[in-house]
Structure 1
């Protein structure tokens, strides 16, 4: 009887604990939303496609109408895909400049600063805000400007984590929130959101909680507005030590994010961290993996870094847990042989544990595959670097010899007092020819490393849009831009400096090429990076 009692206790211990109904129901809804994610995204893609058709089917669309459509496309992309949102923010700027409409110019710059801030590019975002002229602008522009300034300083405070500078940034943020609130209707969703943000930043959690709850209860927010308010409430409940409520609000925020096709992953990432701290490692692992996929899709470096800081911890702890479960499995198996009456129950437990173990092994296999992929990329990068370093030494050596000869020639003329001949020596240096030689050298060494680059590149286009080069070792401007991207130079300003073009020209070339491609725009550069060397 004692043995039977012990086995029954062990069996009950192995059964999952009954979760709190409300929290568990919300978490099940989160998991269901993840499964339905593609359905929500397909609806967003349909809206984007309709907007693109407006531009494609109306060649003589007015600049005002173009601005409206670009703004709609920007709003669709800004929490969905960073690169596309950035592209349309630039198009808005170009269109506003052509219209010479000061209000639209300010609006376009505010859109650009928002997407830069979302990606963690604080310096660039603040510089863009500095370029916004508020003179004679409507209150809506001013409120947006002050709110973005406040958010920038609050985010800097959170990112900086330095006692002196964090307090300084919080104070600056508060001043800008006050400026925004002074121009905002006190009976509006925006007013309570801004004031709640200020209260949250300075630690007035009860007041912040009241403001964000008002947003949810009183103003019928959109999915995205609801997600932002619920996420802030989750942060506040966590700070107040009310973990269950924090999990519930983060779950609601994550569900709203997925239903509005937001891929910035903040709510889902924080929910995974809360569940991990509560010991729910299985769900935490599922959610943080989805958060990483969303961060990769969104494309902003800040989000990837945030998720990457949490994923290994949860993944490692989950593997430890599964290994511990595997060890206890042996004890359960012995107990089953001793009491045939519990065979069915213990068989069910073993099946469940083995299934978890297989999932864990699959995760390890996937991690090893990712590691192998990283090693392959590192090997490729090392070979490319070695090739270019060797070539660079040769080129620099040649330039040093040329400079030495040039110096000797000038010194000779100077010593001989043939001053009138020195300008002729200077004119003998043909910078245009030297730069062309530099491009020719780049093309040759690149085609040596990537002999199939042009062939694979052209496979992404219809026959009439394929690029034909003069010879197999030379590239035109479009190919040269994407060749630089393939070897790891993604910064548009750096590419512009190398090729002696403006940044907008580089964007125009890239956009023109992507629009001709048979691939979706967001997939094009990913395919370029997959072109194999050697």
Structure 2
């Protein structure tokens, strides 16, 4: 279990590292592409420096030494920028050095000329120039330059020749001159580590190459041009040891530095294109190799043109094959899309017909739904009316039950009273006490009997309509509301509308029950309605809406 866990962690870290590396490389390549787009800015800056030097050179009172220094600066600007101009200023520098008669400056000028000849791939002329150099009494800096150029010449020949028999000889000869340059260089200088790293690179000792050139980048704060050369050598070392991602990263960094220093005599971009091509990134590889060819044309280097021309057809051929493959796929896709389009038209026609039928069906269903909805609405209204009617019938039945019971009780009481009265009269008649009959009749007080009748009606009504008074008062302002004396008996106004609420609407009938004239009943009603906050029609409707129970 432990070994499986460790293996999982290892694979996870490896995958994470690879993903991070890929993202970092993509970011760097995007930066390179953006730098290429901005290359005219860096070229413009270099040309401004060249123009300033050329303007100073136009002065008529310049000494030979001042001319020599200006030619040297102009040569330095053009050295890795444009071969023809660099060659021209190298010749002028050599001519001015002869006029000065200074052996060191003459040697310096010849070394500059040999450097530019090597850069253009003119090996015979370069070695002839170097053969003419005399190192006697020369300072160490010139000797280092001489040995370094000799070494570079043999290394470039080996790279150009690519022949096992001769290349090994050239590399061996270059190594000897490199050793001579290293012996004279300061061991704590950028030049020392650059020379030693180059020697390790020629011998295939790539781990030491990485160490020396990484030290150059980390320790000596190199210029863009120096950074580009160190990064390029690091890229070659990583490529040789199989670390393609790191090789691409360093070549990209070298190419960015070359562009920012306006170095056109450079091969980092060319090698980067080859690495990307081998890595399956044909589009970027083609873009970079074309830029490398444009730089070689701008610089005018025969060697660089040959080197780029050896790679360009391979990448371009693969790109053309890819384009042709894409074109074939596009034709297939076009045919497939045409067929699909035809099918879409057919299906669209079928769907259109189906939609038309669906719209007709929907219209029929909608009309049916509308009719059904109307029927449902009518049925709902009928149900509501039926419920209202049922509620009214229920209320009416309850009222009738209560008042029927009330009526029976009242009739029973009156029958008892009539029977008692009859007995009393009968006794007086049998006893022939006719004068006492009048006294018996006087015991009956009709006014009290009627008041008892009203009080009994009020109790029954308030039992049936316990909220009648409060609901009735809500139709009036506070000062006009009715207050019951004993919470059991109604006043005449409330009694009139209580009779109306239980269904007695006839004024004559109400007047007969309450023993008032019809006009009096009408006046009471009118007076009450006028005090109400409701209209007359609404008032009576609201009274009838007061619920029982």
**For residue 287 of structure 1, what is the aligned residue in structure 2?**
288
1:47 equivalent among 33, 46, 49:
49
Structure with greater Cα Rg: 2
2-side partners of 1:220 and 1:68: how far apart? Answer: 26
2-side partners of 1:178 and 1:139: how far apart? Answer: 14
TM-score (norm 1): 0.59
Q: Is the 8 A contact 2:83 2:120 kept in 1?
A: yes
**Corresponding residue SS for 1:61:** coil
1-side partners of 2:164 and 2:294: how far apart? Answer: 34
Note closer, same or farther for the CA distance 1:115–1:336 as it changes in structure 2 (3 Å cut).
same
Deviation at 1:164, TM superposition (A): 2.4
Note closer, same or farther for the CA distance 1:102–1:254 as it changes in structure 2 (3 Å cut).
same
Deviation at 1:162, TM superposition (A): 2.1
Task: Calculate the aligned-residue CA RMSD, in Å.
Answer: 2.0
1-side partners of 2:218 and 2:295: how far apart? Answer: 29
Paired residues for 1:405-444 under 5 Å: none
Question: Is structure 2 residue 68 aligned with structure 1 residue 64?
Answer: no
Q: Which moved further from structure 2: 329-338 or 27-36?
A: 329-338
Note closer, same or farther for the CA distance 1:234–1:109 as it changes in structure 2 (3 Å cut).
same
Q: Is the 8 A contact 2:151 2:174 kept in 1?
A: yes
Q: Deviations over 1:91-148 (max 9, x none)?
A: 0100000000011001000000000011111111111111111111111001101111
Paired residues for 1:320-359 under 5 Å: 320-329=321-330
2-side partners of 1:283 and 1:167: how far apart? Answer: 34
Paired residues for 1:9-24 under 5 Å: 20-24=22-26
Q: Which runs of 5+ in 2 are unaligned?
A: 1-18, 345-549
Q: Which runs of 5+ in 1 are unaligned?
A: 1-16, 344-534
Q: Deviations over 1:50-71 (max 9, x none)?
A: 0001111x20100001000000
Question: Is structure 2 residue 56 aligned with structure 1 residue 30?
Answer: no
1-side partners of 2:266 and 2:170: how far apart? Answer: 25
Paired residues for 1:102-121 under 5 Å: 102-121=103-122
Deviation at 1:235, TM superposition (A): 1.1
**For residue 124 of structure 1, what is the aligned residue in structure 2?**
125
**Corresponding residue SS for 2:55:** helix
**For residue 187 of structure 1, what is the aligned residue in structure 2?**
188
1-side partners of 2:186 and 2:215: how far apart? Answer: 15
Deviation at 1:245, TM superposition (A): 0.8
Deviation at 1:244, TM superposition (A): 0.7
Question: Is structure 2 residue 93 aligned with structure 1 residue 92?
Answer: yes
1-side partners of 2:319 and 2:66: how far apart? Answer: 53
**Corresponding residue SS for 2:262:** coil
Deviation at 1:327, TM superposition (A): 2.8
1-side partners of 2:207 and 2:340: how far apart? Answer: 56
TM-score (norm 2): 0.57
**Corresponding residue SS for 2:186:** coil
**For residue 254 of structure 1, what is the aligned residue in structure 2?**
255
Deviation at 1:326, TM superposition (A): 2.8
Deviation at 1:325, TM superposition (A): 2.1
Deviation at 1:210, TM superposition (A): 0.8
1-side partners of 2:26 and 2:230: how far apart? Answer: 21
2-side partners of 1:161 and 1:311: how far apart? Answer: 19
Note closer, same or farther for the CA distance 1:338–1:20 as it changes in structure 2 (3 Å cut).
farther
**For residue 164 of structure 2, what is the aligned residue in structure 1?**
163
Q: Deviations over 1:302-344 (max 9, x none)?
A: 111111111121111111112222333455567779999xx9x
1-side partners of 2:333 and 2:22: how far apart? Answer: 28
Paired residues for 1:390-401 under 5 Å: none
Note closer, same or farther for the CA distance 1:314–1:65 as it changes in structure 2 (3 Å cut).
same
Note closer, same or farther for the CA distance 1:136–1:156 as it changes in structure 2 (3 Å cut).
same
Deviation at 1:265, TM superposition (A): 3.6
Note closer, same or farther for the CA distance 1:97–1:286 as it changes in structure 2 (3 Å cut).
same
Deviation at 1:19, TM superposition (A): 8.8
**For residue 277 of structure 2, what is the aligned residue in structure 1?**
276
2-side partners of 1:231 and 1:265: how far apart? Answer: 10
Paired residues for 1:164-313 under 5 Å: 164-313=165-314
Deviation at 1:289, TM superposition (A): 1.0
1-side partners of 2:265 and 2:271: how far apart? Answer: 12
Q: Deviations over 1:253-275 (max 9, x none)?
A: 10000000011241111111111
1-side partners of 2:163 and 2:313: how far apart? Answer: 26
**For residue 391 of structure 2, what is the aligned residue in structure 1?**
none
Q: How many residues align?
A: 324
2-side partners of 1:174 and 1:18: how far apart? Answer: 39
2-side partners of 1:256 and 1:227: how far apart? Answer: 5
Deviation at 1:20, TM superposition (A): 1.4
2-side partners of 1:175 and 1:274: how far apart? Answer: 31
